[in-house]
A and B are shown apart, each in its own frame.
Chain A
Amino acid sequence: MADRVGLGWRGELAAAILERLDAIDVLEVIAEDWMHAGRVGQRGLAALARERPVVLHGVTLGLASRHAVDATRLDALARLCGAVRPEAWSEHLAFVRAGGYEIGHLAAPPRSAATVEGALANLRRAAAVVGQVPALENIATLVDPPASTMGEGEWAGRIAGGAGAAMLLDLHNLHANAVNFGHDPVAMLHAFPLQRVRMVHLSGGRWLRAPDGRGRLLDDHLHDVPDPVFDLLERLAACAPQDLTVIIERDGQYPAFDRLLDQVARARAALARGRANRLSRAA
């Protein structure tokens, strides 16, 4: 295999993706969009998975929690995996509900030994039902998770290492957390278990101007991938020898499709520069 670059499948992009499949190595599909698609819909997705490698991406399991993952959701994911036969599946290091409250999106739990244990228990449940442990994605957070006893990279490393899981490293999430909480993005990158990274997300966001005058970078997937995120990809490719699968995520405010393909090309170029740097250092 080799490094691959692809796109997140979205209904709004479907026609353009199918027309330019030659320019896309791999597709990532939001699992929840297809769990209730019916047999015909899932057969269509399975046909797509025969044309290009497909990764199913879960967004609602809430695996990084002291609360047990919902068995019904795991069963639905397992059925979808059985129907589509994706290359892999992934989920976030996040919680999405607790105490009867549905947050509606990904939230950062305390980075503590307790949530490491909770996540590992949930990953064992997930692997038993789905048949495979997911690749684990770091999330962006606007709240520095309280009661944390370790940094994000160490916390993610303990969970991924304990579960024997690959990492899906979202470089815009990493960048956003770094700038929002005053960390050095490169130091943060190196704190993650880079030897476990198999997949990468790239996306964009926008700056919020808060009432206190400080800016916060919101990871909204509605904007182009910014230059610092491509720089992080280059650094990752320079220090991680394994093949990487990179997905550009875009969830709205869609530009002309050629502009998305430009970002695919920029990701390939960043990977190539990083690989060249690695080789030149080794020589």
Chain B
Amino acid sequence: MTVDIESFLARLYVDEAFRKCFLDDRAGVARRAGLSPDDGRAVGAIDPVDLALAAASYARKRSGRAKPK
């Protein structure tokens, strides 16, 4: 099974448990999700602090505390 990188990123932003697994084992999670090796290396380089801040920001939007713009 393969997954495209947008779907992988969307899950990374939304699914907290998946994000934690990813940060513990980036290459393994990317491989098991079915990302191509190139995309797996690319997502493996995501800054974990940036990812956490983005995920928190998206969570606030979903909870309706701020309007999208």
Chains A and B come from one and the same complex: yes
Give Cα A216–Cα B54 distance, bound, in whole angstroms.
10
Give Cα A106–Cα B10 distance, bound, in whole angstroms.
11
Selected from A104, A210, A218, A251, the residue in CB contact (under 8 A) with B49 is A210
1/0 contact trace for A87-115 toward B, CB 8 Å?
00000000101111111111101100000
Is B47 interfacial (CB 8 A cutoff)? Answer: yes
Determine if A99 and B6 form an interchain contact, defined as CB atoms under 8 angstroms apart: yes
1/0 contact trace for A23-44 toward B, CB 8 Å?
0000000101000000000000
1/0 contact trace for B28-55 toward A, CB 8 Å?
0000000000110011011101110110
Determine if A147 and B39 form an interchain contact, defined as CB atoms under 8 angstroms apart: yes
- List chain B residues, Cβ under 8 A from A67: 4, 6
Give Cα A97–Cα B54 distance, bound, in whole angstroms.
15
Scan residues 11-43 of chain B and give those whose CB is less than 8 A from a CB of chain A.
11, 13-15, 38-39, 42-43
Interface size on B, residues (CB 8 A): 33
Is A221 interfacial (CB 8 A cutoff)? Answer: yes
Interface of B: prevailing SS: helix
- List chain A residues, Cβ under 8 A from B68: 30, 32, 59-60, 104-106
Interface size on A, residues (CB 8 A): 42
Scoring B5, B13, B68, B69 by chain A CB atoms within 10 A of each residue's CB, the highest score goes to B69
- Supply 19 further A-B pairs (C-beta < 8 A) apart from A110-B6, A142-B53: A30-B68, A59-B69, A66-B4, A99-B7, A99-B8, A102-B10, A104-B62, A104-B68, A109-B6, A109-B9, A110-B42, A142-B50, A143-B47, A146-B45, A203-B69, A210-B49, A212-B49, A222-B66, A251-B66
Interface residues of B (CB under 8 A from A): 3-11, 13-15, 38-39, 42-43, 45-47, 49-51, 53-54, 57-59, 61-62, 66-69
